[in-house]
Amino acid sequence: MTEITKSKDFGNGWVELNIGPQHPSTHGVLRLKVKLDGEIIREVEPVIGYLHRNAEKICELDYYCDSLIYFDRMDYVGAMNMEVGYLEAAEKLLGIPPPERVQWIRVIMAELSRIAAHLVWAGAFGLDLGMLTPFFYCFIEREKILRIFTETCGTRQETNYMSIGGVYQDFNDKIVYDIEEFIEQFPKKLGVIFDAYVKNDIFISRNKGIGILEPEVAIDYGVTGPMLRASGIDYDVRKAEPYLVYDKVNFDIPVSYKKDNLARFLVRFEEMRQSIKIIQQAIKKIPDGPYFNPKAKKSLMIRLRGEGETYARTESPKGEFGVYLVGDGGVKPYRVRVRSPSFKNLSILPVLAKDVMIADLVAISGTIDLVFGEVDR
Amino acid sequence: MVEILEESKGKDGRRILKVAKENLIALMANLKDQGFDHLSLITGVDRKDRLEVVYHVHSMKKNEYIVVKTETLDERVPSLTSLYSSANWDEREQYDLMGIIFEGHPNLKRMFLPENWAGHPLRKNYDLQKVQYINMDENGEDYATFDSGDGW
């Protein structure tokens, strides 16, 4: 609950307010210590770590193939993107490239997962601003994606679908049909959801011109993803350093120059449309072939040895997701380090929420798109 | 010119520069002038006899990554907060989990764990069998304790 824990005397009439960690609008377990001058925020200090599990240490104690499930639980609404990020680094280190068919399957799954993650964000962001209806529309659409995931790998969210050198199960005709059916009807539904937001005057007036993020400040703080693109910089890892088969599909990077909350909202919605475009092309181009690399047989999986170091970066729904792996020639990684985009994006909050009204703090922290499994790891 | 101890290439094809920690700030300032405006990641690696600190620097315009490495025997390296704002939270995280002391950091507090947590979990000699419990005092601040009756 939001409550005034103590009203210290700062000498200028400021009041210290504690928001969270258990608060409906903090998207998990974010705690904010806010110093208020009347209704104006003068200082924000995010306190994190309530969901900290030290996944990096757990990965060091496990075999290369076992670490994957801890990545599922980082960004738990976009689990497929996390798996792609880890496997990009692990496969490079172990020298087991995935076959062509697997790369296309991974692109399709990653983009479906990106749409699901953005839909969760859109629904929750509406809730932050007091709009209940779009939330249900978003989750109905997301449920269709999760049903496709259930069909392919048996689980809804923490999919654990991919593995080193391949995927757990090949696409069958029903999955392809389901995906085609989904991408055919989705753009129309997305239009309905989009209208529910932007035709609402209160939504526009609470977001337009609020939370201005200058591009130089964003780069200085290491902000990436839709937040950076909403500040006018067309940086997307899928284009800047293509991984998998992103260089063989045709898509655009949405960029906005308005820099405010509304720009971040629009960029994310346009990204969903671009994801649909990628899936449409990928589902046609997907070639026949094996769905795993024979070098990574299940019985040999725990004997894989890695030496050297790699850093792989991928574009997760939140931004640039990097995995730095160091191997010492053993069957377990020596050091695993994760660059989580939400963590970097959260560090900009004290800058964005300086000298704004307390009600705008919720809107601004909503547009950052925080997932605490990833911030705290 | 900054003296580079060793230059190599990683498995992913990125340039790796190794410098002495005294020259770190000079090299990073040099790189920043060349357009490497985005400090992407700071990593501490425990090499048992020494601590290695790895910096991934990125240039948005040139779309290029450079890996800078430095080593320390006494857990201390200079802080980069004066050059990059993103170093602030990354250095706090590495101080928390790896125990690297960044000299000149304006607010070197633990990022995730309570302030009085014993040890740094990512060190290779960290004792995983010792259980620590977390509780909250009257001011709402977390603290760690070895007493299972006090924690929850």
A337/B111 Cβ within 8 A: no
Same domain flag for B64 and B96: yes
What DSSP state is assigned to residue A357? B
**CB-based burial of residue B9 (10 Å sphere; 0-12 exposed, 13-18 middle, 19+ buried)?**
exposed
The yes-or-no verdict on residue A319 having pLDDT over 60 is yes
Q: Is B11 on the interface with A (CB under 8 A)?
A: yes
Q: Which of A48, A54, A339 sits opposite B121 (nearest CB)?
A: A54
Q: Which residue has the higher pLDDT, B6 or A374?
A: A374
For residue B118, give how far its alpha carbon lies from the nearest alpha carbon of chain A (Å): 15
Please provide residue A273's backbone torsions phi and psi, each rounded to the nearest 5 degrees. Answer: -65, -40
Single out the residue of B49, B108, B56, B37 nearest to residue B78, CA to CA.
Answer: B108
Minimum Cα–Cα distance from B94: chain A residue: A337
Minimum Cα–Cα distance from B52: chain A residue: A335
Cβ(A179)–Cβ(A148) below 8 Å: yes
Q: Which residue has the higher pLDDT, A49 or A13?
A: A49
Identity of the amino acid at B79: S
CA A71, CA A53: separation in Å to the nearest integer? Answer: 12
Per residue in A169-206, pLDDT tens?
888 888 889 899 998 999 999 999 999 898 988 889 88
- Bridge partners of B17, per DSSP, are B7, B68
Q: Is A215 on the interface with B (CB under 8 A)?
A: no
How many other C-beta atoms can be found within 10 angstroms of the C-beta atom of residue A57? 17
Cβ(A22)–Cβ(A29) below 8 Å: yes
Q: What is the DSSP string of A170-217?
A: ---HHHHHHHHHHHHHHHHHHHHHHHHHHT-HHHHHHHTT-S---HHH
Q: Which of A54, A222, A310 sits opposite B11 (nearest CB)?
A: A310
Single out the residue of A164, A203, A181 nearest to residue A298, CA to CA.
Answer: A164
B97/A311 Cβ within 8 A: no
**Summary mean pLDDT of chain B:** 85
Query: What pLDDT is stored for residue B150 in this prediction?
Result: 66
- The CA–CA distances, whole Å, from A65 to A78, A171, A194, B12 equal 20, 22, 40, 20
CATH assignment of the domain containing B16: 3.30.460.80
Q: Tally the domains of chain B.
A: 2
Q: Which of A8-17, A260-269, A279-288, A343-352 has the lowest mean pLDDT?
A: A8-17
**Chain B residues whose beta carbon lies within 8 Å of the beta carbon of residue A85:** none
The yes-or-no verdict on residue B4 having pLDDT over 70 is yes
Assigned domain for B1 exists: no
Q: Is B136 on the interface with A (CB under 8 A)?
A: no
Same domain flag for B96 and B120: no
**Chain A residues whose beta carbon lies within 8 Å of the beta carbon of residue B67:** 311
Minimum Cα–Cα distance from A52: chain B residue: B112
Same domain flag for B97 and B42: yes
Single out the residue of A221, A115, A86 nearest to residue B87, CA to CA.
Answer: A221
Same domain flag for B63 and B124: no
Same domain flag for B47 and B68: yes
Per residue in A348-358, pLDDT tens?
989 888 888 88
Q: Which residues contact A149 (CB under 8 A, 6 or more apart)?
A: A80, A109, A112, A113, A155, A156, A157, A159, A161
Same domain flag for B18 and B80: yes
Assigned domain for B18 exists: yes
Q: Which of B38, B56, B93 sits opposite A311 (nearest CB)?
A: B56
Which pair of tokens denotes residue A231?
């500040």
Per residue in B38-80, pLDDT tens?
888 899 998 888 889 999 998 888 888 889 999 888 888 998 8
Assigned domain for B123 exists: yes
CA B115, CA A75: separation in Å to the nearest integer? Answer: 26
Minimum Cα–Cα distance from A319: chain B residue: B40
**Chain A residues whose beta carbon lies within 8 Å of the beta carbon of residue B54:** 324
Minimum Cα–Cα distance from A333: chain B residue: B45
Cβ(B102)–Cβ(B77) below 8 Å: yes
CA A30, CA A22: separation in Å to the nearest integer? Answer: 8
Q: Which residues contact A297 (CB under 8 A, 6 or more apart)?
A: none
The yes-or-no verdict on residue B81 having pLDDT over 80 is yes
Query: What pLDDT is stored for residue B151 in this prediction?
Result: 53
Using CA atoms in the order B119, B121, B123, B129, what is the torsion angle rounded to 10 degrees?
80
What is the distance between the terminal CA atoms of chain A, rounded to a whole angstrom? 24
Same domain flag for B121 and B73: no
Helices (H) and strands (E) in chain B, counts: 2, 9
Assigned domain for B68 exists: yes
Same domain flag for B64 and B133: no
- Over residues A223-240, mean pLDDT: 89
CA A61, CA B121: separation in Å to the nearest integer? Answer: 12
Residue for token pair 């208020």:
A36
- pTM confidence score: 0.89
In chain A, pLDDT over 70 holds for what percent of residues? 97
For residue B132, give how far its alpha carbon lies from the nearest alpha carbon of chain A (Å): 13
Instruction: Grade residue A7 by pLDDT with cuts at 50, 70 and 90.
Output: low
Could you report the predicted ipTM of this complex, rounded to two decimals?
0.87
Q: Is B41 on the interface with A (CB under 8 A)?
A: yes
| Phi-psi category of residue A41: left, alpha or beta, with phi > 0 → left and psi -120 to 50 → alpha | beta
Q: Is A330 on the interface with B (CB under 8 A)?
A: no
Q: Which residue has the higher pLDDT, A61 or B139?
A: A61
Buried (b) or exposed (e) across A187-212, using 16+ Cβ within 10 A? eeebeebbebbeebeebeebbeebbe
Q: Is B14 on the interface with A (CB under 8 A)?
A: yes
Same domain flag for B92 and B126: no
Assigned domain for B52 exists: yes
Same domain flag for B48 and B36: yes
For residue A343, give how far its alpha carbon lies from the nearest alpha carbon of chain B (Å): 9
Query: What domains appear along chain A, each with residue ranges and CATH number?
Result: 55-376 (1.10.645.10)
B85/A221 Cβ within 8 A: yes
The yes-or-no verdict on residue A20 having pLDDT over 80 is no
**Summary mean pLDDT of chain A:** 86
Instruction: Grade residue A8 by pLDDT with cuts at 50, 70 and 90.
Output: low
Question: For chain B, where are the alpha helices, taking DSSP H only?
Answer: 24-33, 87-98
The yes-or-no verdict on residue A115 having pLDDT over 60 is yes
Q: Cis peptide before A21, with omega less than 30 degrees from 0?
A: yes
A54/B84 Cβ within 8 A: no
Q: Which residues contact A19 (CB under 8 A, 6 or more apart)?
A: A2, A26, A31, A32, A34, A361
Full domain range(s) for residue B120:
116-152
Q: Which of A57, A93, A235 sits opposite B60 (nearest CB)?
A: A235
The yes-or-no verdict on residue A1 having pLDDT over 50 is no
Single out the residue of B35, B73, B34 nearest to residue B53, CA to CA.
Answer: B73
B54/A347 Cβ within 8 A: no
Same domain flag for B68 and B123: no
Assigned domain for B121 exists: yes
Instruction: Grade residue A162 by pLDDT with cuts at 50, 70 and 90.
Output: confident
Which pair of tokens denotes residue B3?
């003296």
Q: Which residues contact B125 (CB under 8 A, 6 or more apart)?
A: none
Q: Is A139 on the interface with B (CB under 8 A)?
A: no
Query: What pLDDT is stored for residue A114 in this prediction?
Result: 92
Q: Is B45 on the interface with A (CB under 8 A)?
A: yes
Q: Which of B49, B86, B136 to mutate to test the interface with A (most CBs of A within 10 A)?
A: B86
Q: Which helix (H) or strand (E) holds B136?
A: strand B133-136
Please provide residue A237's backbone torsions phi and psi, each rounded to the nearest 5 degrees. Answer: -65, -30
B112/A241 Cβ within 8 A: no
Same domain flag for B131 and B101: no
Residues 34-63 of A with CB under 8 A from B: 48-49, 52, 54, 56-57, 60
CA A124, CA A205: separation in Å to the nearest integer? Answer: 18
Which pair of tokens denotes residue B59?
């240039």
A49/B112 Cβ within 8 A: yes
Instruction: Grade residue A157 by pLDDT with cuts at 50, 70 and 90.
Output: confident
Q: Is A202 on the interface with B (CB under 8 A)?
A: no
